[in-house]
Structure 1
Amino acid sequence: MKTNKEIQNKVEDTFKVLDTIEKVDVNHFFKHKVLQKLNAEKKERNAVFSWFTPQFQLATLSLVLLLNALVILYAFNNSTINTSSDIETFAQEYSLQSTSDSILN
């Protein structure tokens, strides 16, 4: 391990280097020039789904929601009608219908 004295010497050397750094003068139009060059080099990306505009997205979403609502309504209305007939059919198949009041059939 390094001793505290060695570590302290390295820290002091680092601070001495920071003191020797000089200020850099930059043209005040430098930022503007760099931004112009970046904008000039920027490539226009072609949208893959340019035809899928927000209006078309909204229409598609509305259609999907309407179809889902219709399917759910159909499923619930159809299941209530068939439930009673399904139970009766099941009871007839397995001879579960009773005409007498006897517990032991």
Structure 2
Amino acid sequence: MNKKDTHKKVEETFKVLDTIDKVEVNHFFKHKVLQKIQAEKVEKKPVFSWFTLQLQLATLGIVLLLNIGTIFYAFNSSSQRDSSTSDIKTFAQEYSLQTDSSSILN
């Protein structure tokens, strides 16, 4: 095929596109289609349907209270610091974990 034949076929194709009439659609068509889609839509149950918002908030509150209590207990027991240090030393002595040498390979 040469350039003239190709050009002629392209022109004919564009002429066919000009002859296509505009389709008239009812202005409620979109609404009707969306209603049908909505009616056919299958509702999926949530996996954790029992874990409602109130239960989530209660769980969050309990976790926060436990965290606050733990932090308060850890930072406000200065007397425990001394005993925990001695407990660690006692543990190390009982299991022979303390050494006086600086060698790594004991």
Where structure 1 has 5 or more consecutive residues not aligned to the other structure, the ranges are 1-8, 95-105
Aligned twin of 1:61: 60
Aligned-partner Cα distance in 2 for 1:53–1:34: 34
TM-score by length of 2: 0.58
Once the 2 structures are TM-superposed, how far is the Cα of residue 83 of structure 1 from its aligned partner?
Answer: 3.1
Matched, 1:33 2:32: yes
Deviations 1:47-66 (A, max 9, x none): 11111111111111000000
**AA paired with 1:65?**
L
Aligned-partner Cα distance in 2 for 1:36–1:26: 17
Deviations 1:64-89 (A, max 9, x none): 000000111111123x22334537x9
**AA paired with 1:52?**
F
Question: Structure 2 matches for 1:1-105, cutoff 5 A?
Answer: 16=14, 20=18, 21-78=20-77, 80-85=78-83, 86=85
Change (3 A) 1:25 1:74: same
**AA paired with 2:47?**
V
Where structure 2 has 5 or more consecutive residues not aligned to the other structure, the ranges are 1-6, 99-106
Aligned-partner Cα distance in 2 for 1:75–1:18: 84
Aligned-partner Cα distance in 2 for 1:71–1:17: 81
Aligned CA-pair RMSD: 3.0
Runs of 4+ with deviation above 2 angstroms: 16-19, 82-87
Once the 2 structures are TM-superposed, how far is the Cα of residue 27 of structure 1 from its aligned partner?
Answer: 1.6
**AA paired with 1:73?**
F
